[in-house]
Amino acid sequence: MRRDVTLEIDLPCQPADVWRALTDPTALSEWLMPVAGFTAMVGQRFQLRAKPMPGWDGVIEAEVLDAEGPHRLAYSWKGSQMRSTTTVRWTLTPLPDGGSTRLSLHHQGFEGASGALMAVMHRAGWRKFVTRRLPSYLAAHAGAAGPDSSA
């Protein structure tokens, strides 16, 4: 049994602003979770850290698999209690209005019975991050120049 998490949201921001929120370590730390060692370069290994919970140390080990700004980003994702490594893929599509972006998240690779449970837990977390925290972050920061503002 395999479960994937897919979310899609239209954001009232340019793709470059959304890309910056997905790739700037300071931004990621603000809307997603603290990140260490991240750059949007294929092969870059990094960690995301959340508050530890019973049965989980709060650490996500990851590696950038694809990065073509401001269009797509993918990285591996493995928490200490996950049996297999999963993949998080972001796709940014400019909308015809010229000022908005459709952001798609596809988190795949949840396999077996334990994977089904992990998918349920990740789906709830991604909904919170993608539909609430990211739009709030973007509303406060969109248009701000960042280290990758030329993307």
Q: Which residue has the tokens 């530890």?
A: 52
Instruction: With a cut of 70, say whether residue 48 has pLDDT above it.
Output: yes
Domain count of the fold of the chain? 1
Predicted structure pTM score: 0.90
Residue-range definition of the domain harbouring residue 30: 2-141
Our measurement of the distance from residue 56's CA atom to the centroid of its chain's CA atoms, rounded to an integer in Å, reads 19
Task: Provide the token pair at 48.
Answer: 């995301």
122-133 pLDDT tens trace: 999 999 999 999
In a domain? residue 150: no
Check which CATH number belongs to the domain holding 108 and give it: 3.30.530.20
In the structure encoding, which two tokens stand for residue 5, read together? Answer: 């998490």
Tell me the Cα Rg of the chain: 15
In the sheet that holds 2-11, the strands lie side by side as 2-11, 101-111, 86-94, 72-79, 59-68, 45-49, 35-36
Question: Where residue 145 falls among pLDDT bands split at 50, 70, 90?
Answer: low
Nearest to residue 88, comparing CAs of 69, 64, 118? 64
Q: Supply the pLDDT for residue 151.
A: 38
Residue 146 domain-assigned (yes or no) = no
- Mean pLDDT to the nearest integer, 35-51: 96
pLDDT single digits (tens) 84-121: 899 999 999 999 998 999 999 999 999 888 888 889 98
Q: Residue 150 has what pLDDT?
A: 39
